[in-house]
Amino acid sequence: MRVDIVSIFPEYFAPLDLSLVGRARANGTLRLVVHDLRTWTHDVHRTVDDTPYGGGPGMVMRPEPWGAALDALAPPEAPPPRLLVPSPAGVPFTQALAHELAAEPRLLFACGRYEGIDQRVLDHAATRMPVTEVSLGDYVLFGGEVAVLVILEAMTRLLPGVLGNAGSLDDESHAHGLLEAPMYTKPATWRDLEVPAVLRSGDHGRIARWRRDEALARTGRRRPDMLAAIDPGSLDKRDVTA
Ligand code: ADE
C-alpha cells in the first residue's frame, strides 16, 4: 500500500520508523512518504494560514498550498488516491473503517492545523477523488497529525503479513462488535491474585464460553451502545446480554 501524508510538521511522523509500522515500511508492505505543506508555498514567510471569513477566533489554512499539494500528489491523469482529512467534524474512526482503508491501494492524508482547511480544498478534491473527513473522537486536538498516527497504526496492523498470528485479529476488541475479555499470563498467582481457574483448566470449550461471557458483561458495563448495536443473529442461545 502507498500512503502520502501532507503536514506542516513532518517531524511528527518520526515514530512511524519504529515497531511494527517501521517494519512494514522497511519490508515494503507500506510505502509511506511524508511531505511538508510549505513546499507548496511561494512567499518569503511560507504562509499557510489566514483569518477566517465571517470572523471568529483562530486561523484557517489557505487553499493555494493545499491545492498545489493535491495537484502534485494526486494528478488528474493518474488513478486517484482516497483522501483522508482528520477533523473533529468528521465521521467516527472505527475498526470497520480501518479495515476499509487497509484494502485501499493508495491513501493521501491531509493534516489540518488551526481551525482547519478552507472548505473549497475538500470540495474541489471531491470532484477528483473520494474524500473522507474522519474524527478520532469527541474532543479537539491541535491538528490532524496525531490522528494520522492513530489511523495508520490501526490500519497497518490489518495489512496482510504485518501481524505474525492472524488469529489475534479475530479475538481482539471490536473484532465482533464486543470488547475483548481480560487476558492473563504467568505466573498463575501474583500478589495473592489468581488467574481464573477456568483458563488453566485446558478445557477449550469452557474457556471459549468464559471469554464470551466476560466479553458480553464487559461490553454491557462499559459500552452499552455497542451491545445495543450488536446483530442479534451473531448471538448464540447461551449469550446473556441483559
Ligand atoms: N483534529 C482535531 N481534532 C481532531 C479529532 N478529534 N479527530 C481527528 N482529527 C482532529
CATH number for the domain spanning 172: value is 1.10.1270.20
Region 85-89: mean pLDDT is: 97
In angstroms, the CA 217 to CA 227 distance is 9
Q: Tell whether ipTM is more than 0.90.
A: yes
Residues 111 and 216 in one domain: no
Q: How far apart are CA 62 and CA 47, in angstroms?
A: 8
Cβ of residue 88 lying under 6 Å from some atom of ligand 1 = yes
Q: Measured in angstroms, how far is the CA atom of residue 205 from the centroid of ligand 1?
A: 42
- Grid cell at residue 234: 451473531
Distance CA 21, CA 8 (A): 22
Does the C-beta of 150 come closer than 6 Å to ligand 1?
no
Q: Specify if 162 maps to a domain.
A: no
Cell of 171: 479475538
Identify the bridge partners of residue 84 per DSSP, sorted by sequence position.
Answer: 109, 132
Q: Give the model confidence (pLDDT) of 221-232 as tens digits.
A: 999 999 999 999
Task: List the domain range (segments joined by +) for residue 19.
Answer: 2-156
Same domain, 22 and 141: yes
Residue nearest to atom 6 of ligand 1 (CA): 88
Q: Are residues 110 and 226 in the same domain?
A: no
Residue 163 placed within a domain: no
- 86 pLDDT more than 90: yes
**Do 96 and 210 reside in the same domain of the chain?**
no
| Inside any domain, residue 242 | no
* pLDDT value for 171: 77
Average pLDDT of span 215-242: 92
Domain boundary among 106, 131, 156: 156
Q: How far apart are CA 211 and CA 199, in angstroms?
A: 9
Q: What is the pLDDT of residues 133-172, one digit of tens each?
A: 999 999 999 999 999 999 999 999 999 999 877 667 877 8
Do 145 and 216 lie in one domain? The reply is no
156 contacts: CB under 8 Å, gap ≥ 6: 20, 21, 24, 29, 30, 102, 162
217 pLDDT above the threshold of 80: yes
Decide which of 105, 132, 156 is a domain's last residue: 156
Residue 135 Cβ contacting ligand 1 at under 6 Å? yes
> Quick one: 125 and 183 in the same domain?
no
Answer whether 137 contacts ligand 1 (Cβ < 6 A): yes
Closest CA to 152 of 11, 4, 10: 4
Same domain, 138 and 177: no
In this structure, what CATH number is given to the domain that contains residue 43? 3.40.1280.10
204 and 136 in one domain? no
How confident is the model at residue 167, as a pLDDT? 61
For residue 51, being part of any structural domain is answered with yes
Question: Mean pLDDT lowest for which of 116-120, 132-136, 165-169, 236-240?
Answer: 165-169
- CB of residue 87 inside a 6 A radius of ligand 1: yes
Same structural domain, 219 and 128: no
**According to the model, what pLDDT value does residue 173 have?**
84
Per-residue pLDDT at 36: 98
Question: How far, in Å, from the CA of 114 to the mean position of ligand 1?
Answer: 11
Ligand 1 close to Cβ of residue 141 (< 6 A) = yes
Residues 34 and 99 in one domain: yes
Band (pLDDT 50/70/90 cuts) for residue 93 is very high
Q: Are residues 43 and 134 in the same domain?
A: yes
C-alpha 242 chain-centroid distance: 31
Lowest-confidence segment of 61-65, 104-108, 169-173, 193-197 by average pLDDT: 169-173
- Among residues 195, 223, 225, 222, which one has the least CA distance to residue 210? 195
Yes or no: say if 63 and 36 are a contact pair by the CB < 8 Å rule: no
Residue 55 clears pLDDT 70, i.e. is over it: yes
Q: Quick one: pLDDT at residue 172?
A: 84
Q: Is residue 240 part of a domain?
A: no
Share of residues in the chain with pLDDT > 70 (%) = 99
Q: Judge whether 241 lies within some domain.
A: no
pLDDT at 175: 84
Q: Is the C-beta atom of 81 inside 6 A of ligand 1?
A: no
Would the CB of 138 count as within 6 Å of ligand 1? no
Same structural domain, 120 and 33: yes
Strands in the chain per DSSP E: 2-7, 31-36, 49-50, 60-61, 82-92, 106-110, 131-135, 189-190, 193-194
The answer on pLDDT for 193 being more than 90 is yes
Atom nearest to 139 CA in ligand 1: 6
Stated pTM of the model: 0.93
Give me the pLDDT at residue 241, please. 82
Domain count, the chain: 2
CA distance 188 to 160: 34
Task: Using the mean position of ligand 1's atoms as its centre, give its distance from the Cα of residue 110 in Å.
Answer: 12
198-236: burial string, b at 16+ Cβ within 10 Å, e else: ebeeeeeeebeebbbebbbebbbeebeeebeebeeeeee
Going from the Cα of 109 to the center of ligand 1, the distance in angstroms, rounded, reads: 13
> Ligand 1 centroid to 87 CA: how many Å?
4
